[in-house]
Structure 1
Amino acid sequence: MTTRRGFLAGLMASTLTSQASWAGAGSPAFLSAGKDAGGAFLLAGLSDTGGILFRHPLPGRGHAAAAHPVRPEAVAFARRPGRFADVIDCRSGAAIARLEPPAGHHFYGHGTFSPDGRRLFTTENDYENARGVIGVWDAAGGYRRITAFSSGGIGPHDMALRRDAPGMVVANGGIETHPDSGRAKLNLADMRPNLSYLSLEGELQAQMELPQELRLNSIRHLAVRADGTVGFAMQWQGDPGEQLPAAGLHRPGTAPRLMAEDDVRVLNLNGYGGSAAFSADGSRIGVTSPRGGVLQIMDTVSGALLREIRMRDVCGLAPSAGGFTASTGTGRLITVSDTGQTVLHRADLAWDNHLIPLI
């Protein structure tokens, strides 16, 4: 798949070179929400060695972010059940716009741009009607809200563009919530998580549900491999003592394949898949757990758990040249390779759940 930097190289050879590009923002490698020592929330752009290239203050706790495929703009999303999404000029960290969902909706912390960058899609809870929604915003026209369509389920959390076909994949966690009840889970008796494959216009193209015995395994976080395989991380809502997989792979038209399902070490995740990422070559998938303080790496062919690395409060995860880069709530950015792990940078910040790669 064409990378953002590869795409920009093509633009540099075209008549579009006069437009602002990510190079003008210092070519950040990652985005991450965080909290400083004084308790203030922010979104930061990081270099590939972990240095902070820009920061933007947020009105509340952030979660994930989305990067525009061409312009040096990022959108920082509020943590559920937040109602802000800040559009940021990454050259300066200045605000471009603040998005708010319609009355009766809140954001779920994730979103993505269309491949051409003209639309922004956001996962939302239409909590008065107990349904998941994808909001659509005109990124080419001042981020005006255009429309919305069904996410294909309840509790849409993460979303990503497909790589094997036009469209998107949405992780519908299956959990009904309402702001009046805080973060309480209102439908555990009949929750049904799924992966929904949608066109960019909202047509449901395919859907995957977990087997009945796993219906309490909320599908929350996604990674998409170059061949279109979707990796997903789950969060178990049942008996905490049960040994259940926290990661799986899926392709439309096939049954889900669960990783390390017979390995007792999945208990070390404490039922919580915080982030997922494929290695750069796609041969491995990593899943983090801040509750368990571990990063687990599985083989995508055999499904075996290859390595388990202890890291205090680890959650953010992205591919890197030698394996993976992880971020922690203790302010560390760490690379993990076959030869060991290296702390790239220590910041006086608590990094939040996700490390969004830009390369």
Structure 2
Amino acid sequence: MMEINRRAFLGLLTAAGAVAAMPALANQSRAIPGVYASASRGEDGRYYLNVVAQDALRVTHLLPERAHQVLFHPKQPWVIAVARRPGTFIDIVDYDSGLLVKQIVLAKGHYLYGHVQVTADGRYLLTTEKHPDQQEGQVVVRDLRANFDVVQRYSTGGIGPHELKLTADQSEVVIANGGILTEGREKLNLETMQPSLAYLNLASGKIVEQVALDERYHQSSIRHFDLSANGDVLIAMQYQGHPADDVPLVAHHRRGQPLTALDIPTPVRTQLKQYCGSACFDSTGRFGAVSAPRGNRVMFWDMTSGQYLSDVKTKDGCGLAPTDVASEFIVSTGRGRFYRVNAATAERQRLSLPGEAIWQWDNHMVRLAG
């Protein structure tokens, strides 16, 4: 597909009433619009969990090692940080007091893949993990009302699971099986890897649907994705083959349909270094964003049509989260900056954050709902 003309696209949005409340970014406040959390690296070389509200750091919690994903608990004033693969800790912090609620440390030989979910009722914490006696990954369920103990383990149906998301009705978990067998950070099976997107039914413990790209793209590792309220999945991939290969890096899925690659214009795709970091839907579910930190870009699609819309340049920008404005996202970067970006207008606004130069924001960011 060709990139849509910006003026034509804005005309379509205006006709649909989608830009009625879309003020120019230059006219908006530079304060961060809401409460966001991310893992980070400080200027002292240590790793932290940070909560940012408006134009201030609300929480700065020292972590034992580098974290990956962070998540707000849906019922308690808690924020959760999960160790980067192959780490073994989960820190749960009260963001009102800044105090550690619980630190979970995995048993010897087990490790995390860096991602977490909590059920909507706040009771169960789910992570993707590696068991020392199994090649396939696991979804591990812990009961937060029972001393955070493990109460269930399910196979993910693939090797190297990363991100996972609960469906809106909480009946299933969607899992990105990256396909890469690892020892520590070493990749062992790149010639035979088989990534997939899997749907796990929590009642039966069975994989009820599993999809993959064409076999020729088996080295496009499915790592990260977002799941909209209506069940659309936007996938960010990392290619493990030759740097010059023309392969899919972004894809879309809906239950019962094939996994479909999304178009990226060639001049953009060739700058991405075969690596996409985070995927995110806007507050409406219509617009999708994918970050490519090695290519210093964030790209946007209209998910109703799969049409590539635009992109903005952000040096080492990876973390993505929506605002409450249609087509708008916040981007965090490894250079300590936050930006507000708009998929419809391709605008970018640098936001104000005291002490920003001392923080290197990690790959993922989350917004506190409400």
- Fold shared per TM-score above 0.5: yes
CA distance in 2 between partners of 1:215 and 1:92 (Å)? 46
CA distance in 2 between partners of 1:46 and 1:142 (Å)? 29
Q: Is the 8 A contact 2:217 2:248 kept in 1?
A: no
- 1:91 and 2:96 aligned: yes
Q: Is the 8 A contact 1:269 1:288 kept in 2?
A: no
AA matched with 2:191:
A
233-242 vs 136-145, greater mean Cα deviation: 136-145
Give 1:64's aligned residue.
69
CA distance in 1 between partners of 2:101 and 2:320 (Å)? 27
Among 280, 288, 291, which residue is 1:288 paired with? 291
Give 1:187's aligned residue.
189
AA matched with 1:355:
M
- What number of residue pairs does the alignment pair up? 329
CA distance in 2 between partners of 1:353 and 1:341 (Å)? 19
Give 2:50's aligned residue.
44
Q: CA deviation at 1:127?
A: 4.2
- 1:211 and 2:218 aligned: no
Give 1:275's aligned residue.
278
- 1:351 and 2:349 aligned: no
Q: CA deviation at 1:345?
A: 2.5
Q: Is the 8 A contact 1:260 1:266 kept in 2?
A: no
CA distance in 2 between partners of 1:269 and 1:298 (Å)? 16
CA distance in 2 between partners of 1:109 and 1:216 (Å)? 21
Among 196, 202, 207, which residue is 1:200 paired with? 202
Q: Is the 8 A contact 1:28 1:45 kept in 2?
A: no
CA distance in 1 between partners of 2:251 and 2:347 (Å)? 25
Q: Deviations over 1:234-264 (max 9, x none)?
A: 0001111112221111112110121115644
CA distance in 2 between partners of 1:339 and 1:85 (Å)? 36
Q: CA deviation at 1:339?
A: 6.1
Q: Is the 8 A contact 1:324 1:335 kept in 2?
A: yes
Q: Deviations over 1:295-338 (max 9, x none)?
A: 11122233332212111111001112151110001111100022
CA distance in 2 between partners of 1:153 and 1:100 (Å)? 24
Q: Is the 8 A contact 1:28 1:53 kept in 2?
A: no
Q: Percent identity?
A: 36
CA distance in 1 between partners of 2:44 and 2:275 (Å)? 28
Structure 1 unmatched runs, 5+: 1-26
Structure 2 unmatched runs, 5+: 1-32
Among 153, 156, 175, which residue is 2:161 paired with? 156
Query: How well do the aligned residues superpose, as a CA RMSD in angstroms?
Result: 1.8
Give 2:347's aligned residue.
340
Give the alignment of 1:190-339 within 5 angstroms.
190-201=192-203, 202-260=205-263, 263-320=266-323, 321-322=325-326, 323-337=328-342, 338=345
Q: Deviations over 1:116-172 (max 9, x none)?
A: 111100111224422201111111223122231211211010011112662110101
Q: Is the 8 A contact 1:63 1:79 kept in 2?
A: yes
Query: Following superposition, which runs of at least 4 residues in structure 1 exceed 6 angstroms of deviation?
Result: none
Q: Is the 8 A contact 2:65 2:83 kept in 1?
A: yes
SS of residue paired to 1:81: coil
TM-score, normalised to structure 1, is 0.87
SS of residue paired to 1:213: helix
Q: Deviations over 1:174-219 (max 9, x none)?
A: 000012xxx1211112111111111234321211122101111000
CA distance in 2 between partners of 1:96 and 1:280 (Å)? 30
SS of residue paired to 1:96: strand
Q: Deviations over 1:269-305 (max 9, x none)?
A: 2111100001222222111111111111122233332
CA distance in 2 between partners of 1:102 and 1:51 (Å)? 37
Q: CA deviation at 1:340?
A: 1.5
- 1:73 and 2:83 aligned: no
Q: CA deviation at 1:28?
A: 6.1
